[in-house]
């Protein structure tokens, strides 16, 4: 493995949910420990399962792993850290400031920014001259800080009082207001992260076009922040020896090889390792030892029956679209983490609705070429647009500078400009662009891909944005009114579809998204479990075993999270082009496929 050659003291594994960061971090820690190095494995993942992997209870303290000499582990609980962080900020002002102001502060501290910053606050000591880590040769981090977090920590400290005085605009800078430690300590931590002699950043991805695009964005963002020395690990690559005459397995190999051949140039230039897909769950020492080993011609110890594609409590995507079409118009928001297939499913739903002769407006904030490549054609009654996040962010920045900024002195304006370069500015700007489109849903279907997160909605609602201004003014007038936020909260007007994959991390991340949406007063209408092997009826032994592993995740979604669930099979061919999209979501010109 290239990324394990002459490893520095700190190893960070980063990548989107579900690509296998935790498994690779655990296997790395095990290999180094068994080579005689003293290793500390640190997780900052809210859904950390390193304790399950090693079959030992691990908490927010350094714990020796009994069966592995030289290995200890630590699980930083970001949610607990964030709650403690909020309490430190909000406690002193309770009973002093008006309740409405306190609630606004709590909401601004309720999102992902606060969790990231609080977690960073916790493990900074592990990076900078820490007595905790002095005894270890290597410290391995599962779930590294994102470029988003690092960008926030690089902002100047002077904005704290500036924002408190109300001169700043809605942003995610508020969570940083409680950092009472010397900022030089954070600067030292960021410097340590960027030093290739002490730190190695490992990007983890899958051999899929969408996952590689996500990895390239991460590479570019971190590179722009000074993290030039990065490594790439492509996990779960299907072994050509495991095809076993299965057309689905052959199609997967072809798709993966095509994605690798078209890898973005920036990623292709990085030192690269490929890890073969394994049929077993990566729990226990023997499984971890096998992760970095290729096992040609692997055969299951006992033959397994092909799992039935029918899963209790689920329906087909075509059946879900039929229910959406019955309303005649409305807003359909397709939400989920990167790499789960939101763009493809949004396009499939929009095309299927348009084929019924209904007017449909499909909009996205993803790159236009991606959506155009997915559709590969036009359909009557379907209009497609793209919201350019960069253009919308610049428009939003200019508007704020021309309004609030016009009354500031040079120093205040400089701080406001810095505030507006925060990562959340783009989220807010894109939401405002979406809001301009929402009104169209009263007379046609509007299908939105890459919708704003629940945190963005809470932030906007909590900072005196349009919704609260209208509510205050219109309640006094007695007139009927509807704001974009009210429309999103109305299940008669808006259907939110959460997309996930039948794997541990994507399901956990989707559940967190649903929780955030509910806090914003938005109830998801359905979940879509995408790319399911169990619905594709594979025959190759490796895929059969992987399909069997999905059952528990699907059951959790059906029984614990979703009011209705659609199950979409992993497709043999990339679902690109109008015909394949219609096959996915149901072509009303021919009988829809039966619900699985």
SS3 413: helix
Instruction: Spell out a b/e string for 408-442, using b for 16 or more CB atoms within 10 Å of the CB, else e.
Output: beeebbbbbebbbebbbbbbbbbbbbbbebbebbe
Query: Which of 14, 22, 28, 504 is an active site residue?
Result: 22
Q: Catalytic site residue 444?
A: no
How do beta strands 272-276 and 230-237 pair? Answer: parallel
The DSSP annotation for 510-540 comes to HHHHHHHHHHTT----EEEEEEESTTT---S
Instruction: Report whether 339 contacts 209 (CB < 8 A).
Output: no
Query: Which of 23, 199, 364, 393 is an active site residue?
Result: 23
* Separation of alpha carbons 363 and 206, rounded Å: 27
* Separation of alpha carbons 453 and 561, rounded Å: 18
Query: Which of 16, 21, 342, 404 is an active site residue?
Result: 21
Query: Which of 14, 15, 17, 18 is an active site residue?
Result: 18
The DSSP element (H or E) to which 556 belongs, if any, is: helix 541-556
> Minimal CA–CA distance to 91: which of 71, 75, 106?
106
Q: For the chain, state the CA radius of gyration.
A: 25
Q: Catalytic site residue 20?
A: yes
Query: Which of 15, 17, 20, 336 is an active site residue?
Result: 20
Q: Catalytic site residue 563?
A: no
SS3 363: strand
Q: Catalytic site residue 22?
A: yes
SS3 201: strand
Q: Catalytic site residue 21?
A: yes
Instruction: Report whether 362 contacts 384 (CB < 8 A).
Output: yes
Instruction: Report whether 140 contacts 25 (CB < 8 A).
Output: yes
Q: Catalytic site residue 23?
A: yes
Q: How many CB atoms sit inside 10 A of residue 161's CB? A: 11
Q: Catalytic site residue 422?
A: no
* DSSP code of residue 9: S
Query: Which of 45, 142, 246, 583 is an active site residue?
Result: 45
Query: Which of 505, 532, 534, 565 is an active site residue?
Result: 505
Catalytic residue list: 18, 20-23, 45, 505
């Amino acid at each position: 493995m290239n990324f394990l050659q002459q490893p520095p003291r700190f190893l960070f594994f980063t990548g989107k949910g579900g690509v296998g960061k935790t498994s690779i971090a655990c296997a790395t820690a095990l290999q180094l420990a068994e080579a005689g190095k003293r290793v500390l494995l640190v997780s900052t993942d809210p859904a950390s399962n390193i304790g399950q992997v090693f079959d030992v209870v691990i908490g927010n303290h350094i714990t020796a792993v009994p069966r592995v000499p030289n290995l200890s582990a630590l699980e930083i609980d970001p949610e607990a850290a964030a709650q403690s962080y909020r309490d430190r900020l909000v406690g002193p002002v309770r009973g002093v400031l008006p309740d409405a102001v306190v609630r606004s502060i709590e909401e601004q501290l309720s999102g992902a920014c606060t969790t990231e910053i609080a977690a960073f606050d916790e493990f900074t000591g592990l990076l900078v001259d820490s007595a905790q880590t002095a005894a270890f040769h290597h410290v391995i981090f599962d779930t590294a800080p994102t470029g988003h977090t690092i960008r926030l920590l690089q902002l100047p400290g002077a904005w704290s009082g500036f924002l408190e005085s109300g001169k700043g605009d809605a942003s995610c800078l508020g969570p940083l207001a409680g950092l009472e430690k010397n900022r030089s300590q954070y600067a030292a931590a960021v410097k340590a992260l960027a030093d290739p002699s002490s730190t190695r950043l490992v990007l983890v991805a899958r051999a899929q076009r969408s996952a590689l695009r996500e990895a390239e964005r991460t590479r570019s963002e971190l590179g722009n922040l000074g993290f030039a020395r990065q490594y790439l690990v492509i996990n779960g690559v299907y072994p050509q020896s495991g095809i076993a005459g299965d057309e689905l397995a052959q199609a997967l190999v072809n798709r993966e090889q095509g994605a690798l051949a078209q890898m973005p140039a920036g990623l292709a230039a990085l030192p690269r390792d490929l890890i073969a897909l394994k049929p077993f769950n990566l729990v226990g020492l023997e499984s971890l030892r096998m992760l970095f080993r290729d096992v040609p011609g692997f055969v299951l110890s006992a033959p397994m029956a092909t799992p039935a594609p029918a899963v209790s409590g689920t329906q087909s995507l075509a059946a879900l679209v039929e229910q959406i079409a019955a309303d005649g118009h409305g807003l359909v928001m397709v939400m989920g983490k990167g790499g789960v297939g939101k763009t493809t499913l949004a396009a499939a739903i929009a095309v299927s609705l348009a084929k019924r002769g209904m007017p449909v407006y499909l909009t996205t904030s993803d790159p236009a070429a991606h959506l155009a490549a997915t559709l590969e054609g036009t359909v009557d009654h379907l209009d497609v647009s793209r919201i350019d996040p960069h253009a919308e962010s610049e428009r939003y920045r200019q508007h704020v500078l021309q309004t609030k900024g016009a009354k500031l002195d040079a120093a205040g304006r400089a701080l406001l400009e810095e505030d507006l370069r925060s990562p959340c500015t783009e989220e807010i700007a894109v939401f405002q662009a979406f809001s301009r489109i929402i009104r169209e849903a009263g007379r046609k279907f509007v299908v939105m891909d890459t919708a704003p997160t629940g945190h963005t909605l809470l932030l906007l609602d909590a900072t005196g944005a349009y919704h609260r201004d209208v509510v205050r003014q219109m309640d006094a007038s007695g007139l009927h009114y509807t704001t974009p936020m009210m429309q999103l909260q109305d299940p008669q007007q808006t259907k939110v579809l959460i997309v996930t994959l039948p794997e541990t991390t994507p399901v956990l991340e989707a559940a967190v998204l649903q929780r955030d949406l509910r806090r914003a007063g938005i109830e998801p209408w359905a979940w879509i479990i995408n790319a399911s092997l169990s619905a594709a009826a594979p025959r190759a032994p490796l895929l059969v075993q992987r399909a069997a592993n999905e059952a528990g995740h699907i059951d959790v979604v059906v029984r614990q999270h979703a009011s209705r669930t659609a199950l979409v099979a992993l497709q043999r061919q990339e679902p690109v082009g109008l015909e394949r999209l219609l096959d996915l979501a149901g072509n009303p010109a021919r009988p829809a496929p039966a619900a699985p």
